[in-house]
Amino acid sequence: MRRRRLRAAITAVAVATATLAALPATTPTPAAAASRPAAARDWSTAVVDSTMARYTPSTIGGWSYPVGLYLYGQYLTYLRTHDARYLTYIKDYVDRFVKSDGSISQSFNSLDSMQAGRLLVILHHETGQDRYRKAARKIRDRLNTYPRTSDGGFWHADNSSRAHQLWADGVYMVNPFLVEYGKEFGDSAYTDDEAAEQLYVYGSHLQVGNGLLKHAYDESKSASWADPQSGLAPEHWCRAVGWYSMAITDVLDAIPANHPRRAQLLSIFRRLAAGLEKYQDPATGRWFQVIDKGGREDNWTETSCSSMFTYALSRGAERGYIDPHYAAVARRGYEGVLAKLSVGADGRTELADISIGTNVGDYAYYVARTRDTNDFHGLGAFLIMNEQLRGD
């Protein structure tokens, strides 16, 4: 069945061009879209079609977590629409890196390099081709020797500049892959425990009294940004916290109801949700680049993290992980993100105010980051959010 689905996808691409569907001249302005986010317009397909029109599977970029995030969002759109082009595009991208024998020329010496591994699990599920299992297994096996802190947290990367460091970003780079790998390949006894443990260890270090997480923690306390007593980074950078919020949601979805770490993860999530509600911008519904310092004139609301928080709060409220009232907080976030979406003169979507890739730094560093349009961090987060909320 899975092979027939993929053959159908490939056939459909052969007979259907990748031209973007004509968009109506009366497309609402972003502000109008925000006021009625449940409108008939399918913003997920509009974003995917626009991105596919801009890039081929060969030009979209190398093996990376931003592209992996975006293509995961495209897959969610495929699952709903069954548009064959979307799945074939993902396969064509992945097949640039995975050979027919399952070999993949990645060393997986950083958590960032593992995120696109979700696509390997997806393609095995859709096609049944064993090469994707073999490639995914390389990530799973790498974790057997991957360096950890003394309490078991995966280092952000296996190199001297990231040694002993836990970055909130990292939990999303590996743990959703882990639980999905475990489900697909019968390895959940390990993967569920590992993913839950990683989220607990990271949360125990990074979460502070206001419920938010600091960007990073250095066990050695030797990094230039690390507090000499706590080892923590100085700020709550929004996308780092966004990565964690999505990861904890996805892992709670996957692990058993009686998992021994579940109660602790729920406690972390509930404190985080309260902090997010407190610091949501009342004027826009979005969240600031440095979350808790929205009162500063040079701070700005960032689209990717706002999408991530909106997704996590909506799904968390839906699944009962957090109080039901957070659905309204998510709705305000959704409207705020839609206000950053527009349609250009070429008929393609434009998603604005997305922070480019960012290291650990101080307040001035974060607020000075480039505010990009159509950056894959934002496009992927938008699709994940929109597939969660579009039917509300």
d(CA 311, CA 245): 9
Contact 115, 65 (CB under 8 A): yes
Burial class (CB in 10 A: 0-12, 13-18, 19+), 262: middle
- The helix, strand and coil proportions of the chain, stated in percent and rounded to the nearest 5, come to 55, 10, 40
* 169 has catalytic annotation: yes
List the beta bridge partners of residue 202: none
Per DSSP, the three-state class of 133 is helix
Whole-number Å distance between alpha carbons of 262 and 27? 44
State whether the Cα torsion 173-174-175-181 is positive or negative: positive
Task: Measure Cα distances from 307 to 36, 286, 353 in Å.
Answer: 17, 8, 12
Q: Which two three-digit tokens encode residue 324?
A: 């039901």
169-to-173, 215, 240, 257 alpha-carbon distances in Å: 7, 8, 5, 25
Estimate to the nearest angstrom the gap between the alpha carbon of 281 and the chain centroid: 21
Residue in this structure with the two tokens 């080892």, named with its chain if needed: 231
- Whole-angstrom Cα distance, residue 115 to residue 178? 10
Residue 351 forms beta bridges with which residues?
Answer: 341
From the list 49, 83, 112, 169, the catalytic residue is 169
Contact 185, 174 (CB under 8 A): no
The first and second tokens of residue 328, run together, are 């309204």
For residues 148 and 155, give the distance between their C-alpha atoms in angstroms, rounded to a whole number.
Answer: 5
**Are 354 and 302 a contacting pair, CB within 8 Å?**
yes
Active site residues: 169
